[in-house]
Amino acid sequence: MNSVLEVPGRSDALSLIQSHASSLARLAGFDDARCLAIELACEEAFGRIMERASGSPGIEPVRMVSELNVLALTITFHDQAPPAKRLDDLASEQAAAELDEVDLGAVSRRLIRAAADSVTWMPMGRQGHRTQMVFNRPQRAIASMEPQAALQAFDEQTPLAPVQDYTVRLASEEADWHPIAVAVYRTYGYTYPLDDFYLPDRIRELNQTGLVLSAVAVTAAGEVVGHYALDVQGFGQFGVKPPFTGELGKAVVDPAHRSRGLMERMRRFVEGEARSRGLVSVFSEPTMAHPFSQKANESLGSRPSAVLLGLVASQFLGLKAIESAAAGQRTSVMFYHQPLGPQSARRVHAPPIHRPMLWRTYAACGIEVEDAGPSEPQAQHTELAAQFVPHIEIGLVTVRVAGQDMAHALRQCMQQLVRDSGARVIYLALRLDDPGCPAACAAAEGFGFHYSGLCPLFDDGHDVLRMQYVNVPIDFGALAVAGSFAREIVDYVQADRARVDAL
């Protein structure tokens, strides 16, 4: 169900926004407390529009566009308020990069942060701004659907089940969704950082809408004893055009059925499904709290290409029977690229300082690459989207076009993500085929971003240089690293972090 509400760009229109938000929230099935939180979040979003519009004529109307489906309530505000005022002296990179000192522990929990499962800001130049908030609809979690005894963690010492045949297939039957959620819970407890796979109804809807493909390993008796998923949320627009890549994960095998190749069978099955749907590659992000998942990726032909430091807080680690030297600090992951066929050659605008490392990474990934030569931003204005994910306190900035005002645009993102939302870590994606990439990289370094790595096909089929702003302590000596080239990437990231810190 879709709806559009247009209101004047005046503060006295707030009551219309509040009433509409409250009605949508109740229609979506949220309880009273969440309905109020959603109403207040919309009030804050409208208030920010009024702040930007102060003294600016001709900004009307403000459009509140809502989509309610089986998964979520999405509310998007479109406004014609002019871009935020530029800094007086953008010629000075230091002036552009300086942020006010912020005690992240004291940042107030803003209303949007408290209510939304994710929020994305999209400055659109002369076309105004767009703010999109996603509120996942309430659904019953597996812990409320099963007796506690049935949800006890898997006994890692359980005897192996009798030797038998297994079928690996796509999950599609109504009876599949519940056992998948049980298996995830019994493996991770409530420590897995994403809620989706604790909710049987959400697993079903994600699969039926094509955002996720779940493979299951099933015994002859019909018991689900393994699960592996391909997730394409956020990587291309499913239903509009096929995504180029997707994420592998949510891998679970019941200990009674391990050592029988089920993990590899499910992985290969999912890769085949991805290939048949036109995907060019898949990727995975195994933890660096231990080396086992990385070793599995390397044995299956995946190639390391980036390191994401401090992705999730340590309370989400939840690794049974594994002692980790990294326990207590935010968990980092290694990005692995898995080609699904021949890879086309690339012509990229590499920042000179990172060119040797990028070339080595391209070679390790089996991708031919050519330097497009010196370049400068072609566009006047930067096009980007900034997203905040509250429950793990990270920001995601995707730059579609790096313009001449990149430093100013990135400063606005930092204000929104760090000051307003309290992001601890921010990942920045720069398209390597964009002539503005080298200048954007230099501008990002002025805000404390350093090298993360290469992510092939990551942004709608474009290779990206990923950079990262990590405002938490990282003990590199505690990170588990499986392969020799993975170690080379980690060492490079550590050295670049020190270089940027010294600027």
Q: What is the pTM of this model?
A: 0.86
Asked if 283 contacts 306 with a C-beta cutoff of 8 angstroms, the reply is no
Tell me the per-residue pLDDT of 239-281, one tens digit each, with 9 for 90 and over.
345 678 999 988 999 999 999 999 999 999 999 999 998 899 9
Residue 476 one-letter amino acid: F
Across 128-194, the runs of DSSP E, i.e. the strands, are 129-136, 166-170
416 and 290 in a common domain? yes
175 and 315 in a common domain? no
Q: Percent of the chain beyond pLDDT 70?
A: 83
Ranges of residues in the chain whose predicted pLDDT is under 70: 55-60, 81-111, 114, 125-126, 141-151, 190-194, 234-242, 314-328
Alpha-helical runs (H) found in 189-261:
200-208
Total Cβ atoms within 10 A of residue 34: 17
d(CA 402, CA 256): 52
| Last residue in a domain, options 262, 278, 294 | 278
Residue from 259, 235, 257 nearest 248 by CA = 235
Using CB atoms within 10 Å of the CB of residue 318, give its burial: 0 to 12 exposed, 13 to 18 middle, 19+ buried.
middle
CATH number, domain at 166?
3.40.630.30
CATH number, domain at 102?
3.30.565.10
d(CA 14, CA 36): 15
9 and 47 in a common domain? yes
274 and 285 in a common domain? no
Domain that holds residue 145: 139-278
Q: What is the pLDDT of residue 321?
A: 44
Q: What is the pLDDT of residue 25?
A: 95
Q: What is the pLDDT of residue 498?
A: 97
d(CA 213, CA 248): 10
Q: Angle at CA 292, nearest 5°, toward 287 and 297?
A: 80
Q: What is the pLDDT of residue 88?
A: 39
Across 345-438, the runs of DSSP E, i.e. the strands, are 346-348, 369-371, 383-389, 394-401, 425-431
| Last residue in a domain, options 138, 160, 192 | 138
Q: 152 Cβ partners below 8 Å, 6+ apart? A: 186
373 and 286 in a common domain? yes
236 and 290 in a common domain? no
476 and 412 in a common domain? yes
Asked if 203 contacts 196 with a C-beta cutoff of 8 angstroms, the reply is yes
Give the chain's radius of gyration (CA, Å).
Answer: 23
Q: What is the pLDDT of residue 140?
A: 74
Q: What is the pLDDT of residue 77?
A: 94
Residue from 62, 74, 51 nearest 1 by CA = 74
Q: Angle at CA 371, nearest 5°, toward 365 and 376?
A: 125
Q: What is the pLDDT of residue 281?
A: 94
Distance of CA 182 to the CA centre of its chain: 24
230 and 124 in a common domain? no
Residue 16 one-letter amino acid: L
Looking only at Cα atoms, what is the longest distance across the chain?
75
256 and 199 in a common domain? yes
Q: What is the pLDDT of residue 294?
A: 95
Q: What is the pLDDT of residue 339?
A: 95
Across 47-89, the runs of DSSP E, i.e. the strands, are 62-68, 72-79
Asked if 282 contacts 230 with a C-beta cutoff of 8 angstroms, the reply is yes
| Last residue in a domain, options 109, 138, 167 | 138
29 and 75 in a common domain? yes
- CA distances to 265, 418, 436, 446 from 74, in Å: 37, 23, 32, 34
Calculate the dihedral angle through the C-alpha atoms of 202, 205, 210, 212, rounding to the nearest 10 degrees.
20
143 and 116 in a common domain? no
Q: Angle at CA 245, nearest 5°, toward 271 and 73?
A: 110
For the chain, the distance separating the N- and C-terminal CA atoms, rounded to the nearest angstrom, is 51
Looking at the structure of the chain, the number of domains it has is 3
Cis amide leading into 61 (omega within 30): yes
336 and 301 in a common domain? yes
- CA distances to 132, 155, 258, 375, 389 from 43, in Å: 13, 49, 52, 43, 19
Q: Angle at CA 118, nearest 5°, toward 114 and 120?
A: 115
DSSP at 84? P
Look at phi and psi of residue 212 and say left if phi exceeds 0, alpha if psi is from -120 to 50, else beta. beta
Across 69-154, the runs of DSSP E, i.e. the strands, are 72-79, 118-123, 129-136
